[in-house]
Amino acid sequence: MLINIGVSIFGILIFLFLFWKRLREDYAANIIFESAAYILIGIGLGFVVSLKFFPAWFFWATLSGALLGLLSVILRFKIKFYETLEAFVIGSLPWLGLIFLEDSVVKSSLSSFLAFLGILIMLFIAYYFDTHYKGFSLYKSGRIGFTGLAMVALIFLVRSLIAIAKVPMLSFVGIREAPISGVLMLLSLVLLFNLGKVKK
């Protein structure tokens, strides 16, 4: 229990730092941290609801809560969707990695440890995308948001493939995971395509 709390606090601190770092050049600190608070409250509410009614779906419940929090801050503070989504994704990856690492240690779970390694690889991919996306020939607009949407598409592609392979994994709901993750992957790719089009 103490380990879980410690990991959660550390993960939240990392999330707050990265979320602030991604948005600090465009928004005041109070707006950034209040936005982060909305998202964290959404995550917390989603998690509590899932524990009470459908514990197996806690990933989707917390994700829904986070997206509701994200939508709330976009409407309230008029901040840009793609930039904020990207900050949320980049900030959440290390936190998610810590959750898998904790589960692998506490429960001696090989699948969770492999998921942790997968998150590390995704972080390196995110860094590469973030530093090179403006040079991608297929992404002609060069607008901010490529890294966030590309990582969302990659995450849900991996989740869909793992579900199809029926690999037991923390936060997965079996084969039902595949179509849901697949739809979100395709949605991310559509948004990425629209974002990459050059404005005339």
Instruction: From 191, 96, 87, select the one nearest 149 (Cα to Cα).
Output: 191
In this prediction, what percent of the chain has a pLDDT beyond 90?
59
Structure tokens that stand for 97 in this block:
């990695």
Q: What is the mean pLDDT of residues 189-193?
A: 92
Q: Quick check: 114 pLDDT over 80?
A: yes
Least confident of 63-72, 92-101, 163-172, 173-182: 163-172
pLDDT of residue 199: 60
Structure tokens that stand for 33 in this block:
């941290």
Q: What is the mean pLDDT of residues 129-155?
A: 89
Enumerate residues 6+ apart whose C-beta is below 8 A from 19. Answer: 32, 35, 36, 39, 87, 88, 90, 91
pLDDT of residue 117: 94
Q: Quick check: 125 pLDDT over 70?
A: yes
What is the longest distance spanned by two Cα atoms in the chain? Answer: 55
User: Residue 146: pLDDT band by 50, 70, 90 thresholds?
Assistant: very high
- Whole-model pTM: value is 0.90
